[in-house]
Structure 1
Amino acid sequence: MLTSPVEDDFSTVEFARRLRALAAHLPLSDAFERDLPQLRGTWWTSQREHMVRWFESQDSHGSGAYSRRARNTSARTTYNRLLAPAAILWMAEALGEDRAVVEAAADAARAETNARKRPALLRRHLPWSRIAELARA
């Protein structure tokens, strides 16, 4: 089990590399995305494509609406700022989290009527410490 903040982090580029090797479409996260799609701004064909690009782009100053003063090289920080529920579920499922855990998280998110609360709710079910543990396995 990972214990210290340093041990449970990755660079955003390294984490993106790990995500790139995972399956693009999976049953639970695909179903969730069909049930609760992102309403605008979708340019990706899969959550894998979305998350690989998102994590890679953090190690820059960004552009346009996604400009930032300082580069972010922490995958942990990026995950904890992520506001895309389907992406959170996809990462957990793709990294091999137990199906029952992913299903419970998805069910809880579906039951949450306030869309702005879903990402935090999902992170309570699927915290970064678990995502990092799965990514290291």
Structure 2
Amino acid sequence: MNEIDLDVKKFARILGKLEEHLEVSDAFEDAVVGQSERRWSSQREHMTSWFRGQRTTGSGAYTRNKPNHSAKRAYNRLQSPEGLLWIAEALGADTELVRAAADEALAAKPNQSRCAVIRRHLPWPMIAELATSRTRWRRR
């Protein structure tokens, strides 16, 4: 079975229309990232920028040999547990599922382990289905 993939630019547009601050992902971010360490006004800003930037070769510590057009690849490589949670919550994933992923991820260290825990609860096929169902709903 082929999984749904989206172009990163389209996925960034979808994310850019979602709620900026949400209960579970904001609480998780407060628990793992200090206020002084935040470089974004919201995870919506962070994630739309991240996915949009995938279409380039990046810069600084985020360079890559060639642009990435796959939102699936970008999601599965993303090392931002607070971003992963926000994406799922903002797209309308079940709140209890998002909360369970956040709770389990809080107990995990280092950051890569937190991301793996979250993706185990909130895998790309679920995210892609939520994203595509939102765009189908909006076209009606």
- Scaled by the length of structure 2, the TM-score of the pair is 0.89
Q: Is the 8 A contact 2:8 2:51 kept in 1?
A: yes
| RMSD across aligned positions (CA) | 1.6
Distance 1:16 1:48 in 2: 9
Specify which of 89, 96, 116 is matched with residue 93 of structure 1.
89
Normalising by the residue count of structure 1, what TM-score does the alignment of the two structures yield?
0.91
Stretches of structure 2 that go unaligned for 5 or more consecutive residues are: 134-140
Distance 1:127 1:40, change over 3 A: farther
Please list the CA deviations of residues 72-100 of structure 1 after superposition, one character each: whole Å capped at 9, or x if unmatched. 00000000000000000000000000111
Q: Which has the higher helix share?
A: 2
Q: Which runs of 5+ in 1 are unaligned?
A: none
Equivalenced residue count is 133
Selected match of 1:124 from 106, 120, 125: 120
Q: CA deviation at 1:38?
A: 6.5
- Does the CA contact (< 8 Å) of 2:105 and 2:117 recur in 1? yes
1:41-52 alignment runs, 5 A limit: 42-52=38-48
1:53 equivalent in alignment to 2:23: no
**Relative to structure 1, is the Cα distance of residues 84 and 39 closer, same or farther in structure 2, using a 3 angstrom cutoff?**
farther
Percent identity, aligned pairs only, is 49
SS in 1 for 2:57: coil
The equivalent position to 1:81 in structure 2, one of 77, 84, 92, is: 77
Deviation at 1:37, TM superposition (A): 1.0
1:47-95 deviations in Å (ceiling 9; x for gaps): 0000000000000111122111100000000000000000000000000
- CA 1:82 to 1:101, structure 2 compared with 1: closer, same or farther past 3 Å? same
Change in 2 beyond 3 A, CA 1:38/1:59: farther
Task: Note the C-alpha offset of 1:39.
Answer: 8.7
CA distance in 2, matches of 1:117, 1:21: 29
